[in-house]
């Protein structure tokens, strides 16, 4: 088996296992179930993954990577009315994107992960944290380059603070708000707190001007 073939097979195993885990739960799906679904032998499975735990880690790592990629794309590729949007516009725009609560199947998977695979659950949270940290650090550097964020910050410290705040707030928003309007308001408040900590005087003036214009546009739509 060539390296390319092995990579392709690992991807197939990972995708199939991910669907089965989501549908039936982590504990219910065995290696035999995965092999039977794919029509491969256990020997072939073990040539690609040393254990079920290593497969679970790979599935979760890919999910975290794709989630981070979607978030980054939403912010940096979203179409905005501003002619030359800066990072402030993009963060403000992200707060208006409708976010959906994870499905009951996803909640069950996370519950089983925490109960039966606590070490992997901890590793998953750290992996998600690392992706969010990298995103916010890039955004902060961009804001400094654009001249709208403070350049006297301890970047590592403020990035860590914002990452922890963001991850905790997202869970709170999903757990406590059901209507899209409430979620949007909560996200806007979260972004507001972050921008107040990051913006210099020029950035604050720009931010409040954009907020005022956005508020005026919302009233016109009503």
Residue 38 tokens read as 């794919």
State residue 220's pLDDT score.
Answer: 47
Nearest Cα to 10, choosing from 34, 28, 32?
34
Same domain, 216 and 116: yes
Same domain, 29 and 85: no
Same domain, 90 and 182: yes
Same domain, 84 and 156: yes
State mean pLDDT over 75-100.
Answer: 81
In the listed set 11, 27, 49, which residue is the last one of a domain according to the structure?
49
State residue 72's pLDDT score.
Answer: 87
Global pTM?
0.88
State residue 222's pLDDT score.
Answer: 47
State residue 104's pLDDT score.
Answer: 86
C-alpha dist (Å) from residue 108 to 13, 155, 172? 21, 37, 18
Q: What residue numbers bound the domain in which 184 lies?
A: 57-221
Residue 208 tokens read as 């409040």
pLDDT tens, residue by residue, 34-73:
999 999 999 999 999 999 999 999 999 999 999 899 888 8
Same domain, 39 and 77: no
pLDDT tens, residue by residue, 64-73:
999 899 888 8
Same domain, 139 and 63: yes
Say if residue 219's pLDDT is above 60: no
Same domain, 36 and 94: no
Say if residue 221's pLDDT is above 60: no
Confidence of residue 205 (pLDDT cuts 50, 70, 90): very high
CATH number for position 17: 1.10.10
Same domain, 15 and 92: no
Same domain, 84 and 193: yes
Domain count, the chain: 2
pLDDT tens, residue by residue, 18-33:
999 999 999 999 999 9
With b for 16 or more beta-carbon neighbours within 10 A and e for fewer, the 205-216 pattern comes to ebbeebeeebee
CATH number for position 148: 1.10.357.10
Q: Are 14 and 55 in contact (CB under 8 A)?
A: yes
């Amino acid at each position: 088996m060539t390296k390319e073939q092995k990579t392709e097979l690992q991807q197939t195993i990972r995708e199939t296992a991910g669907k089965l885990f989501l549908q039936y739960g982590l504990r219910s799906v065995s290696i035999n179930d995965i092999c039977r679904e794919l029509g491969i032998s256990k020997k072939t499975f073990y040539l690609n993954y040393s254990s079920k735990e290593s497969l679970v880690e790979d599935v979760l790592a890919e999910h975290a990577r794709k989630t981070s990629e979607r978030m980054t794309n939403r912010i940096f590729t979203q179409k905005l009315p501003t002619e030359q949007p800066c990072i402030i516009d993009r963060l403000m725009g992200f707060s208006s994107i409708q976010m959906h609560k994870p499905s009951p199947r996803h909640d069950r998977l996370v519950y089983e992960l925490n109960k039966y695979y606590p070490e992997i659950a901890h590793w998953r949270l750290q992996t998600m944290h690392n992706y969010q940290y990298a995103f916010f650090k890039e955004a902060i550097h961009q804001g400094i380059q654009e001249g709208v964020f403070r350049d006297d910050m301890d970047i590592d410290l403020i990035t860590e603070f914002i990452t922890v705040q963001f991850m905790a707030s997202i869970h709170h928003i999903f757990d406590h708000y059901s209507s899209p309007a409430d979620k949007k308001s909560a996200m806007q408040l979260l972004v507001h707190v972050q921008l107040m900590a990051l913006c210099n005087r020029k950035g604050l003036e720009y931010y409040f001007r954009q907020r005022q214009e956005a508020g005026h546009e919302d009233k016109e739509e009503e």
